[in-house]
Amino acid sequence: MGKIAVLPGDGIGPEVMQQAIKVLNKVSEKYKKTFEYTFADVGGIAIDNHGTPLPDDTVKTCENADAILFGSVGGPKWENLPPEQQPERGALLPLRAHFKLFCNIRPIKIFNPLKSASSLKEEYIPNGLDIVFFRELTGGIYFGQPKEISADRTVGKDTMIYSKPEIDRISRLAFDAARLRSKKVTSVDKANVLMNSIVWRETITELHKEYSDVELGHMYVDNAAMQLVRNPSQFDVIVTGNMFGDILSDAAAMLTGSLGMLPSASINESKFGLYEPIGGTAPDIAGQNIANPIAQVLSAALMLRYTFGMDEAACDIENAIEAILEEGYRTGDIYNKGSDQKLVKTDEMGDLISAKI
């Protein structure tokens, strides 16, 4: 049995989450795997109902689960609260810290039927795009100490630090993932300038001896930024530190041309994970049954792959989505006016995907 803490959150969160559950129920039937869902409040709705964006009961629900399926949090109603009480800062960051989610996984995939939505001309992505980022999430310059501003506020200081065990554990996950894909890892660093990058490069090179069936390449972060917009198809799995991964994965996300299509995962050493779309709560379209549920459904697919080890079921979902898009079904955000595409609502998209499983 798989125990899932379901945290739909705010805005479009609940509507797209319903579709993810619909698809998971279909997977459950087909693969004879039972899922138990426990719903809990998080974000703005938790502030309204319990006075805090991350109530203790919600944390307990997550502790009793194998994975968290997260929607998104925030919205205009809570925007003027102090930063630590804001839905995103007050819920997501503490959850990541509490569960030691050190590895952020972000697939950047352009489904073939959506190639024209990319910010790149089709000639740069002749075979579409299918990259996965493994970004270290709990170390590096965002957390290194000392981190301070001088009393007269004229000097700011951050510390970029990485140690061998931190590099080793994320690199292992990247190599393992590459084995399920095209067996190619690119490690991104700045080893020509940064000491912690030298340790990064040496550590992953040493670990590579255990993964000699996987090809390992190294690239400086400035070159990686250029290559991502010049020839992104050369990449398969990219592994990198916290800040480099933050910047590069956002730039790469834009290559796909649609926020409503991108999932992400943050996992820890015991494969417990928080799975969520990279987009926000889309308050402009919330409650209208027009949001694109695909990112949320793909987040559920990542959960099957990384927490439950159900790679075949995850591929099943991804293929179902590709097939539906191939047949011309689109939600408003990816619909081309004047085309012969079929415009569908959020729940219809959920029905179409689950019918294909």
Residue 73 binding ligand NAD, by CB under 6 A: yes
Minimum CB distance to ligand NAD, residue 85 (Å): 13
Minimum CB distance to ligand NAD, residue 29 (Å): 26
Indicate if 32 belongs to the active site: no
Residue 350 binding ligand NAD, by CB under 6 A: no
Indicate if 190 belongs to the active site: yes
Indicate if 142 belongs to the active site: yes
Minimum CB distance to ligand NAD, residue 295 (Å): 6
- β-partners of residue 264 are 276
Which tokens go with 218? 């190294």
- Among 53, 232, 241, 260, the residue binding ligand NAD under the rule CB under 6 A is 260
- Residue 85 annotated as binding? yes
**DSSP alpha helices (H): ranges in 140-293?**
164-179, 195-207, 221-230, 242-256
Count CB-CB contacts under 10 A for residue 320.
Answer: 21
- Residue with Cβ nearer ligand NAD (237 or 349): 349
Q: How far apart are CA 328 and CA 213, in angstroms?
A: 39
CA distances from 303 to 266, 270, 334 (A): 10, 13, 24
Minimum CB distance to ligand NAD, residue 149 (Å): 25
Residue 264 binding ligand NAD, by CB under 6 A: no
Minimum CB distance to ligand NAD, residue 258 (Å): 8
Q: Which stretch binds ligand NAD (CB under 6 A): 96-104, 208-216, 244-252, 278-286?
A: 278-286
Count CB-CB contacts under 10 A for residue 231.
Answer: 12
- Residue 79 annotated as binding? yes
- Among 206, 250, 269, 284, the residue binding ligand NAD under the rule CB under 6 A is 284
Answer for the pair 247, 135: CB distance below 8 angstroms, yes or no. Answer: no
Sign of CA dihedral 300, 301, 304, 306: negative
Q: How far apart are CA 302 and CA 276, in angstroms?
A: 9
- In terms of phi and psi (left: phi > 0; alpha: psi -120 to 50; beta: otherwise), the region of 318 is alpha
Residue 281 binding ligand NAD, by CB under 6 A: yes
Which of 246, 316, 329, 333 is flagged as catalytic? 246
**DSSP alpha helices (H): ranges in the chain?**
13-31, 44-50, 56-63, 87, 93-98, 164-179, 195-207, 221-230, 242-256, 294-306, 311-326, 346-356
- Helix/strand/coil for 290: coil
- Among 81, 117, 198, 259, the residue binding ligand NAD under the rule CB under 6 A is 259
Q: Which stretch binds ligand NAD (CB under 6 A): 69-77, 96-104, 201-209, 220-228?
A: 69-77
Interface positions, 317-346, toward ligand NAD (CB under 6 A): 333
Minimum CB distance to ligand NAD, residue 260 (Å): 3
Which of 22, 109, 115, 190 is flagged as catalytic? 190
- Residue 153 annotated as binding? no
Instruction: Classify residue 141 by its DSSP letter.
Output: G
Query: Which residues have CB under 8 Å from 112's CB, separation 6+?
Result: 128, 322, 325, 326
- Residue 75 annotated as binding? yes
Question: Which amino acids are annotated as binding site for NAD(+), given as ranges?
Answer: 75-88
Question: Which amino acids are annotated as binding site, given as ranges?
Answer: 75-88, 96, 106, 135, 222, 246, 250
Catalytic residues: 142, 190, 222, 246, 250
Point out which residues bind ligand NAD (CB under 6 A): 12, 16, 72-75, 88, 92, 259-260, 276, 279-285, 291-292, 295, 333
Question: Which amino acids are annotated as binding site for Mg(2+), given as ranges?
Answer: 222, 246, 250
